[in-house]
Amino acid sequence: MAEKASSLMFNVRRHEPELITPAKPTPREIKLLSDIDDQDGLRFQVPIIQFYKNNSSMQGKNPAKIIKSALAETLVHYYPLAGRLREGFGRKLMVECTGEGILFIEADADVTLHEFGDDLPPPFPCLVELLYDVPGSSGIIDTPLLLIQVTRLKCGGFIFALRLNHTMSDASGLVQFMTAVGEMARGQRSLSIQPVWERHLLNARDPPRVTHIHHEYDDLEDTKGTIIPLDDMVHRSFFFGPSEMAAIRRLVPAHFHRSTTSEVLTAYLWRCYTIALQPDPEEEMRVICVVNSRTKLNPPLPTGFYGNGIAFPAAISQAKKICENPFGYTLQLVKQTKVDVTEEYMRSAADLMAMKGRPHFTVVRRYMVSDVTRAGFGLVDFGWGRPEPVYGGPAKGGVGPIPGVTSFFVPFKNRKGEKGIVVPTCLPTPAMERFAKLMNEILQNQLLVSAEENKSVFIVSAI
């Protein structure tokens, strides 16, 4: 049984999990991951979920069968994904290309897409049914690198859910693979983008040398109990449409008017997060911004590269400065942090991994933000059209093996038809209540300033 917040109950009938192997023989070899890929903070499984409506042109066709066949064809090109991770000296990860395959589950649910409701933002309480955790499959070493479940719905639509070993790909790389599966499912004979391994491009130098300060990997003691236990977390999503973003931008100083939506929203959420947690005023707080560094290198990473090409720069400040200073203070920190990501920064990060045992991101007093609005999850088409305007993207916030607050920025259309960004996040229950209340109060105050123009007051939607 699965239960949605609206008390929706339904049954899911699953076939036995099976291994999908490449449709043709593939090379048997060892491929090393990069020193960005195999850092400790990426050694976890990340869930993705895509909802697809019924398409009359695909009447009578079985999405599970079509996608299963397309996966086998795609794995001929992406054959490392059909292998297994091994760990060598110094915790170095490598793929043994065994061709053993990825896990696939075919399922049926006695529910329609309409019954899920008008809005389909994360978190999804039914995720455990729509993405079954096959016993023994969730480890990082010696297990399938991908798990996919296709669940057919009564209405003719279906749900595509996927779990990826994050060491293999970032969001851009994963969408590239999913797009390739979609092309094969739609009958294309060749891929529009050929996959490129080339993980050595993000390996440590010889000899390695750390030339930047990497606060994201600071080894901090939790002196005041600020690491949040996983069992104390509540998940919730917030929608930021045109009205909400306009209200936040009224807080932006004139000299920062060209700041991106991602920068403004990151700074705003970090400030609200800090206030909501009520830390000691002297405590140092961090926000880690996931930055796509593909174009930061010279030359840029090649088209088709599907590894982790991301950096994790951290802005840092005392809690009292975040809470007491105008919004421009926090925004400036976020903007500068992103500017700091250069080719040398990436080289330095790879060198740090090799020199210091591939450390995990700090989880003490930190907030992590990953903007996937341009990753392309909503463009993946298996023949039934795009998941838009339903939902396609990360299945929840706060993913990862170690406690810590993580938010994704996901493109979304709400029940009113407004396009914006939905932000799944997680916090302890009391902090989440303060977080939501604080955001609503700030937005309401800002929108009241322009009530004459807007003729109404909009409040951020807590979904």
Fold observed for domain 215-454 = Chloramphenicol Acetyltransferase (3.30.559)
Question: Residue 360 catalytic?
Answer: no
Tell me the mean pLDDT in the region 154-177: 97
Q: What are the pLDDT digits (tens) for 303-341?
A: 999 999 999 999 999 999 999 999 999 999 999 999 999
- Whole-number Cα distances in Å, 14 to 108, 110, 135, 150, 223: 7, 12, 14, 10, 46
Q: What are the pLDDT digits (tens) for 20-48?
A: 999 999 999 999 999 999 999 999 999 99
12-21, 278-287, 402-411, 443-452: least confident range = 443-452
pLDDT value, residue 1: 31
Fold observed for domain 22-198 = Chloramphenicol Acetyltransferase (3.30.559)
Say if residue 229's pLDDT is above 70. Answer: no
Tokens coding 363:
């989880």
Say if residue 113's pLDDT is above 60. Answer: yes
Tell me the mean pLDDT in the region 142-168: 97
Q: What are the pLDDT digits (tens) for 171-201?
A: 999 999 999 999 999 999 999 999 999 999 9
Write down the residue that tokens 């010889």 correspond to.
206
Say if residue 5's pLDDT is above 50. Answer: no
Q: What are the pLDDT digits (tens) for 253-266?
A: 999 999 999 999 99
Backbone angles phi, psi at 236, to 5 degrees: -160, 150
Q: What are the pLDDT digits (tens) for 348-402?
A: 999 999 999 999 988 888 899 999 999 999 999 999 999 866 788 888 765 554 4
User: Do the domains spanning 22-198 and 215-454 agree at the CATH topology level?
Assistant: yes
Q: Find the catalytic residue in 40, 108, 218, 381.
A: 381
pLDDT value, residue 391: 80
Alpha-carbon distance of 73 to 82, in angstroms, equals: 12
Residue 462: pLDDT band (50, 70, 90) is very low
Q: What are the pLDDT digits (tens) for 72-105?
A: 999 999 999 999 999 999 899 999 999 999 999 9
Domain boundaries in the chain?
Answer: 22-198, 215-454
Residue 461: pLDDT band (50, 70, 90) is very low
Tell me the mean pLDDT in the region 47-69: 95
Q: Find the catalytic residue in 77, 166, 214, 215.
A: 166
Question: Residue 280 catalytic?
Answer: no
Three-state SS across the chain? CEECCCCCEECEEECCCEEECCCCCCCCCEEECCCCCCCHHHCCEEEEEEEECCCHHHCCCCHHHHHHHHHHHHHHHCHHHHCEEEECHHHCEEEECCCCCEEEEEEEECCCCHHHCCCCCCCCCCHHHHCCCCCCCCCCCCCCCEEEEEEECCCCCEEEEEEEECCCCCHHHHHHHHHHHHHHHCCCCCCCCCCECCHHHHCCCCCCCCCCCCHHHCCCCCCCCCCCCHHHEEEEEEEECHHHHHHHHCCCCHHHCCCCHHHHHHHHHHHHHHHHHCCCCCCEEEEEECEECCCCCCCCCCCCECCCCEECCEEEEEHHHHHHCCHHHHHHHHHHHHHCCCHHHHHHHHHHHHHCCCCCCCCCCEEEEEECCCCCHHHCCCCCCCCCCCEEEECCCCCCCCCCEEEEEEEEECCCCCEEEEEEEEEEHHHHHHHHHHHHHHHHHHHHHCHHHHCCCCCCEEC
Residue 164: pLDDT band (50, 70, 90) is very high
Q: Helix 261-277 vs helix 327-339: angle between axes, to the nearest 10 degrees?
A: 120
